[in-house]
Amino acid sequence: MWWRSPSFILDKQQSDTVPHQRNPRDTLPLPSPPPFSMADTLQNPNPENNISAYYQTRAAHHAVVTGDWLAQAQAAIGRDPDDSTDTTVATVAGKPFSVIDEFNSWRKQPELAEAVAAIRALAAVIRNCQATTMMELEIELKKSSDSLKSGDTTSISLTAGCDLFMRYVTRTSALEYEDFDSAKSRLIERAEKFGEISCKARRIIAMLSQDFIFDGCTILVHGFSRVVFEVLKTAAQSKKLFRVFCTEGRPDRSGLRLSNELAKLDVPVKLLIDSAVAYTMDEVDMVFVGADGVVESGGIINMMGTFQIALVAHSMNKPVYVAAESYKFARLYPLDQKDMVPALCPIDFGVPIPSKVEVETSARDYTPPQYLTLLFTDLGVLTPSVVSDELIQLYL
């Protein structure tokens, strides 16, 4: 099976150089493809089964599958040096500019969130656009953001980031009074500013959350979230004494990665298997989770297992804090767990599973707002009900 090896990272590198296949349906009927024939469908490697590209990227960046896995993956990347610098000047090299390529090149950086990558790619669209009127530019922008969004329908932050960018960049009242060139440069300026703000969001959240981490507290975290890691790192750097319980974070086992990183910072860490959450909850003072998306009800969509942790924490009266950047706010309103676009991810059980056994491969779940205490965002510390207010103000 292709996901057993880190070779899909290598495949991805190749897919970046291969002209991107815009219609994934062409490659649909592939019963059991060898790894390399999958190369050109990697934008969404298995559209038939809704394997989520978003979770693929996450797994590629944060997952720990085997001990030498990361080393292997690194080696795979090393063989093909990062070409993010030359895609930004892609048009110079005579290659037609493609927003997807641009986006993929940004996405490869593990530190860069997917939405920020999309924002940067869209900024590059403005820069490379040959349009001569505002309307043309807007249509162009709309088209590229649509193609970005359709590339991966499971990524909430990607969709939300694109939508927010469109709102933020195109909603300037100053645009009407200027000639096109200065308006365009103004747009680029705004786009870059927006990209910067989104980059800084993680720092802001880390600063805001410091008041909530007190000496001697025990924090339970689930999976690997860059923003939660930033929060914990900042706390550790400001000499706070606390310990962290990391869940394993199956199936991509991203919790192992987090425990590794925290151990490097000399933070006391304990690893738990995902099913030990209830067992350890009475020792825990607060739960910290990231979010893939914050929805209109104020609830969050996050990696599988967040909901049950929130439930356990709620029943034991422990606060559940969510750290999420505001570009993850999405105009979605799931009513229950099934009311979402399915995002599947492969699960490796280590042993062969008989074909008669069905496997639940959903990669994420929805945590309703009543189980969350506070959301730390770059807009401030919010209660879940404020999310909808912010969304109404942003989008209407």
Partner 1 sequence: MDARRAPRTVSDPKVRKVGFFTAPPDRSLSGPPDHRIFSFLTSPPPVVDNSSPSAGNSLSPVMIPPPRHSSANLSPLRRDSAEYFPPSASPTSPASFSDDVAAAAMGRGAVAASSSLPGGLGFDIAALKSAASSVPASGLTTVSVVNNFPIGISEKGGGVAVEMQNDQSTRSKSLKEKTTKAERRALQEAQRAAKAAAKAEGVAASEKKGGDRPQEKDRKKEVPQPRMQYDDKSRVEKAKRRAVVKQTEARNRVELFRHLPQYERGTQLPELESKLFELDPMHPAVYKVGLQYLSGDICGGNARCIAMLQAFQEAIKDYSTPPEKTLARDLTAKIGSYVSFLIECRPLSISMGNAIRFLKNRIAKLPLSLSEMEAKTNLHSDIDRFINEKIILADKVIVKHAVTKISDGDVLLTYGSSSAVEMVLLHAHELGKQFRVVVVDSRPKLEGQLLLRRLVGKGINCTYTHINAISYIMHEVTRVFLGASSVLSNGTVYSRVGTACVAMVAHSFHVPVLVCCEAYKFHERVQLDSICSNELGDPDVISQVRGREDINFLDGSSNSAILQLLNLIYDATPSDYVSMIITDYGMVPPTSVPVIVREYRREHLWI
**Nearest distance, CB of residue 308 and partner 1, angstroms:** 16
Q: Nearer to partner 1 by C-beta: 37 or 238? A: 238
**Nearest distance, CB of residue 166 and partner 1, angstroms:** 11
CB-CB neighbours of 254 under 10 Å: 24
* Cα 227 to Cα 124, 166, 326, distances in angstroms: 25, 24, 12
Q: Nearer to partner 1 by C-beta: 24 or 384? A: 384
The C-alpha atoms of residue 316 and residue 39 are separated, in whole angstroms, by 47
**Nearest distance, CB of residue 326 and partner 1, angstroms:** 6
Dihedral of alpha carbons 272, 322, 345, 58, sign: negative
Structure tokens at 218: 């025990």
Q: Nearer to partner 1 by C-beta: 70 or 311? A: 311
Find out whether 100 and 165 touch, Cβ atoms under 8 Å: no
**Nearest distance, CB of residue 381 and partner 1, angstroms:** 5
**Nearest distance, CB of residue 135 and partner 1, angstroms:** 17
Q: Nearer to partner 1 by C-beta: 60 or 295? A: 295
Q: Nearer to partner 1 by C-beta: 252 or 365? A: 365
Find out whether 125 and 100 touch, Cβ atoms under 8 Å: no
The CA-based angle 367-370-372, given to 5 degrees, is 65
Annotate 123-158 with b (16+ C-beta within 10 A) or e (fewer).
bbbbbbbeeeebeebbebbeebbebbbebbbbbbbb
Q: Nearer to partner 1 by C-beta: 173 or 355? A: 173
Q: Nearer to partner 1 by C-beta: 355 or 393? A: 393
**Nearest distance, CB of residue 212 and partner 1, angstroms:** 9
**Nearest distance, CB of residue 394 and partner 1, angstroms:** 7
The C-alpha atoms of residue 65 and residue 254 are separated, in whole angstroms, by 9
Q: Could you give the count of Cα atoms lying within 13 Å of 198 in the half-sphere of its Cβ?
A: 28
Binding residues (CB under 8 A) for partner 1: these are 164, 167-168, 171, 173, 193-194, 197, 201, 204, 208, 211, 296-298, 326, 331, 333, 335-336, 339, 369, 378-383, 385-386, 388-390, 392-396
The C-alpha atoms of residue 200 and residue 319 are separated, in whole angstroms, by 26
